[in-house]
Each structure stands twice: as structure tokens, then as C-alpha cells.
Amino acid sequence: MSALTYDHASTIVSAALEHGRQAGYKPLTIAVLDTGGHLVALGRADGSGFLRPDVAVAKAHGVIGLMMDSRAIAARASDSPEFFTSVASLAGGKVFSVPGGVFVCDGDGEVIGAAGASGDASLADEEAVVAGIEAAGLVARTGA
């Protein structure tokens, strides 16, 4: 299994932010975490709201913490709201049940981290993160 490096993470951030700019998205914030849930890199576009870093980290944190993609988390939250509420409380609120949190995988498909984005519609956030992960030569897994 490969390790998520700072170079990977910084490429994910910069490429995702550039994708958002090119696509005309609202200002994004991108967070990249390793498999231990530690922040490796974070970037904020000018004009991104002050809560956006917390949301981006929470989207990635939920994915890596539960080892479930954002769509699976959303389905679980819908099917069992008490489960989601309990997990969100346990995680200090660092779990979101909307797209924008994405697994970062190596070329063999092994999870090496997660990335999250916040700032635009959830599907746009996810699209930007996927573009960043692919620009880093890694594989995105969204559950879509």
C-alpha cells in the first residue's frame, strides 16, 4: 500500500481549487486527510467562508472515520437518523452526509486518505475533489 504524501495532498488541493475556478464554482475550500484522520493539506480560495475549512475537514473525516463513502453515509443517515446523530455527536460534528467527501486511493485501489470540499453545491464540491485526486495520479472513490 502506498502512503499519502504531502506532495499528493498539495496537488489535490491546488488542482481541485483550479478546477473550481475554471468551472466557475463559488470559492472552495479543500482538505486532505491521511488514513489516521490527520490533516495533511488544506487550501482556501479567496472569498471562501470562514466555516468552509471545518466543513471540508468534516466531509473527509466522516469518510475516512467510517470507511464509508459520502453516499453510503447519506443512505445510512436516511435509514437510521439516530445512528447518524450518534456518530456525528461522537465525532464532534465532524461527519457530513452529503457528497464532497471522497476516498483517495492508490493505483491498487487501497485507501490512503480522504479529501473533502466545501463552498459550492455538494456535487460540485465532489467533482472538484475528484479532479484534484486524479491530477495527483491517484484514484478517487465516491460511491457514485
Predicted confidence (pLDDT) at residue 97 exceeds the cutoff of 70:
yes
Cα(56)–Cα(43) distance, rounded to whole angstroms? 10
Q: What pLDDT, in 10s, does the model give residues 54-81?
A: 999 999 999 999 999 888 888 888 888 8
Cβ-Cβ contacts under 8 Å for 31 (sequence gap 6 or more): 39, 41, 42, 53, 56, 57, 59, 60, 115, 116, 117
Closest to 19 (Cα-Cα) out of 55, 53, 54, 43: 43
Indicate if the pLDDT at residue 17 is higher than 90.
yes
Residue 1 has pLDDT above 70, yes or no: no
Q: What are phi and psi of 40, to 5 degrees?
A: -100, -40
Say which amino acid occupies 96.
F
What mean pLDDT, rounded, does the chain reach? 93
